[in-house]
Amino acid sequence: MAADGEVIYLDHNATTPIATEVAEAMWPYLTSHFGNPSSDHPYGRAARAAVDLAREQVAALIGAHPDEITFTSGGTEANNLAIRGTAAATLPAGRHHLVTSAVEHPATTEPVRLLSDAGWQVTTLPVDPLGRIDPTAAVGLGGVGLGTFILAQNEIGTLQPVAELADHLHARGALVHTDAAQAIGKIEVDVDDLGADLLSIAGHKCYAPKGVGALYVRRGTSIAPVLVGAGQEHGLRPGTENVAGIVGLGQACALAREQMAADAERIRGLRDLLLAELTRQIPSVVRLGDPDHMLPNTLTIAIPERIGADILAACPHLAASTGRPATPARSPPQPPLLAIGATPTLPPAPSGSPSDATPPPNRSSPPPTPVADAATS
């Protein structure tokens, strides 16, 4: 129970705090080690060495080579570079067909929309009521140049079968990008196991600061820069590097390698305890997402006949969300929730577990806006 005035933070899918070890690693590069990594003197070389170490740390977490890591300002820029950069690179004739899913983050859907406006054919694969793509839906699609799929859905936590999707699309000659922003640091991520040609990372989802991220680009993958300027980051991301932020991301990835397995088990237990207690006290609660393919920290629920924003307003000591950040609290369900069958008046159909029993609705009542809890601590 929270002490008087204490707020329990359950919104780690929106952003994580900066880990103490990360802040300590960053501090020298915010103060005394302020050099430009492109400068050829002791200050510059110290900064360059720090960036190189961070590149190794990020690569080690995902099973990549250091030269396959390009630092960005965050997950949104990484997604834009992956999607628009591969589209801008030379692709074989007849390959202007992109495949994505109905549960992507706007950092993916918006660059995809730009390609659609530019004449690309876009196929959006549906998901089942638990929010999971059927990978066989990608079989038989022709002329595909790129597939882009979220690895862990940010609102409901469902993990997507990226490896199976990659198998099908690679067989058609396509590249595959995955937005792993919500997965990094929470589950094991290996680019070879996933079959990913490109993979996006966001620092503030894994105990690093906001304003830093990375894009993994497999060796030999054709990609063009989206921004133009000087030649930093292999010529893909011009601009003086955010050394302190990059150091923080590297340290966060190093911490994840050491602690992720134990942390995931502990956090999964807390999440399941929270669900059990909610179900005991509110028998009509509906759990969203796929419990068999789920981030360990994420619990998203809907309560029939209740608006999530009203529930959270009545819990001033609880910091949680009714959807992704930047979405008004009393908005209708967002596209990923609509994709799993939620409507403005009803949560999705029950998925079969006892906690998913839904009473008959009163359609004149307010919509059951989901309440999303990322139960990390």
Q: How far apart are the first and last CA of the chain?
A: 14
Contact 90, 222 (CB under 8 A): yes
Residue of 157, 123, 167 whose CA lies nearest to 370: 157
Residue 115 has pLDDT above 70, yes or no: yes
pLDDT score recorded for residue 342:
77
Query: How crowded is the C-beta side of 119, counted as CA atoms within 13 Å?
Result: 5
Residue 352 has pLDDT above 70, yes or no: no
Write down the residue that tokens 């990360």 correspond to. Answer: 22
Residue 354's pLDDT band, with cuts at 50, 70 and 90, is very low
Average pLDDT over every residue of 246-266: 97
Report the alpha-carbon distance of residue 177 to residue 99 in Å, rounded.
10
Report the alpha-carbon distance of residue 340 to residue 64 in Å, rounded.
33
Q: Tell me the domain boundaries of the chain.
A: 8-16+259-374, 20-256
Instruction: For residue 81, give Cα distances in angstroms to 88, 91, 213, 304.
Output: 10, 16, 12, 40
What is the CATH architecture assignment of 8-16+259-374?
A: Alpha-Beta Complex (3.90)
Average pLDDT over every residue of 251-273: 96
Average pLDDT over every residue of 229-257: 96
pLDDT score recorded for residue 308:
84
Give the least confident one: 171-175, 187-191, 199-203.
Answer: 171-175
Residue of 68, 113, 107, 67 whose CA lies nearest to 87: 113
CATH of the structural domain 20-256, one choice from 3.30.1360.40, 3.30.420.40, 3.40.1160.10, 3.40.640.10? 3.40.640.10
Residue 373 has pLDDT above 70, yes or no: no
For 184-199, b/e burial (b = at least 16 CB within 10 A) is bbbbebebeebbbbbb
Residue 368 has pLDDT above 70, yes or no: no
pLDDT score recorded for residue 242:
97
Average pLDDT over every residue of 274-294: 95
Report the alpha-carbon distance of residue 231 to residue 252 in Å, rounded.
26
Q: What is the pLDDT of residues 52-109, one digit of tens each?
A: 999 999 999 999 999 999 999 999 999 999 999 999 996 666 789 999 999 999 999 9
**H helices then E strands: how many in the chain?**
9, 12
For 166-175, b/e burial (b = at least 16 CB within 10 A) is bebbeebebb
User: Do the domains at 8-16+259-374 and 20-256 have one common CATH topology?
Assistant: no
